[in-house]
Amino acid sequence: MSRPQTDIDAGRDSLIEQAIALIEERGSSAITMTELAARAGMSPANLYRYFANKDALIEAVAEYWFRPKIAIMEEVLASDLNPRRKMYEFFARRFAQMKAEWERDPIAFSTYAELGRENYEQVRSYVDLGDHFLSLIIGEAMADGHFEGLSIDEALSLINQMVSVYVNIGAMEQVMPRLTTDKLARIIDALFDGLSGKDRGAKGVTGLRAA
């Protein structure tokens, strides 16, 4: 059960929504304390009751943007789906939501990608949280006999590389029209059917050779 929202919480969310509107209208550089105070019709001193500084404002915007994505991950993780379906849903549900955001406003989507790159330290904890949740699903899959010969960290790194275009908004926006949940399902099936620590001949034993 979620905690009751206080007046301060409601005021913060309203200010964050106005900050997001500024970002979507004018770009990532528009998000300043002065501009937000003017947009909200309050003094800068009053705005500092809600956000100690610009970094705190950016962190709040990031939390607001990631909130529904985190809810999806928590819901999938708590489900009784088998590990294969669980991993697919873990990525597919967030991708579907982000694709809908891109379809609504590709320019705003690009602005969020830029904002994330400019403020990576503020969003890193959400990336780490996603890795933590994915590691739990990988652990469930390993208990069922998948990803033989790999550690959880090795499997996590490989899986992230193979599906990054479905979760990294900076990479996603470059190829969004070609991304589909059907393709993602095939990638997840390939992971579960073939990913392991076994050497099957691709790497060779004498180094790389010219074509």
* Domain CATH code at residue 9: 1.10.10.60
Are 44 and 69 in a shared domain? no
**Two structure tokens written together for 158:** 């490989």
Contact of 141 with 147, CB cutoff 8 Å: yes
**Two structure tokens written together for 176:** 């969004």
Are 24 and 75 in a shared domain? no
pLDDT of 1 reads 47
pLDDT of 135 reads 98
d(CA 30, CA 49) in angstroms, rounded, equals: 20
Domain range enclosing 11: 1-51
What is the rounded average pLDDT for all residues in the chain?
Answer: 89
pLDDT of 11 reads 82
CATH label of the domain that carries residue 117 = 1.10.357.10
Assess if residue 206 is contained within a domain: no
Assess if residue 56 is contained within a domain: no
Are 10 and 76 in a shared domain? no
d(CA 29, CA 37) in angstroms, rounded, equals: 15
**Two structure tokens written together for 120:** 């990576």
Indicate the number of domains in the chain: 2
Q: How far apart are the first and last CA of the chain?
A: 60
Contacts 24+ apart (CB under 8 A), 156-162: 156/131, 158/195, 159/87, 159/134, 159/191, 159/195, 160/131, 160/134, 162/187, 162/191
Assess if residue 123 is contained within a domain: yes
Are 34 and 5 in a shared domain? yes
Are 33 and 74 in a shared domain? no
Quick one: three-class SS letters along 11-68?
Answer: HHHHHHHHHHHHHHHHCHHHCCHHHHHHHHCCCHHHHCCCCCCHHHHHHHHHHHHHHH
One digit per residue, pLDDT tens: the chain, 211 residues? 454 455 667 788 899 999 988 888 887 776 788 889 999 999 988 998 899 988 888 888 888 889 999 999 999 999 999 999 999 999 999 999 999 999 998 988 888 888 888 888 888 889 999 999 999 999 999 999 999 999 999 999 999 999 999 999 889 988 999 999 999 999 999 999 999 998 887 876 666 666 5
Are 93 and 128 in a shared domain? yes
d(CA 69, CA 136) in angstroms, rounded, equals: 17
pLDDT 10s digits, 158-192: 999 999 999 998 899 889 999 999 999 999 999 99
Are 13 and 113 in a shared domain? no
Assess if residue 209 is contained within a domain: no
What pTM was computed for the model? 0.85
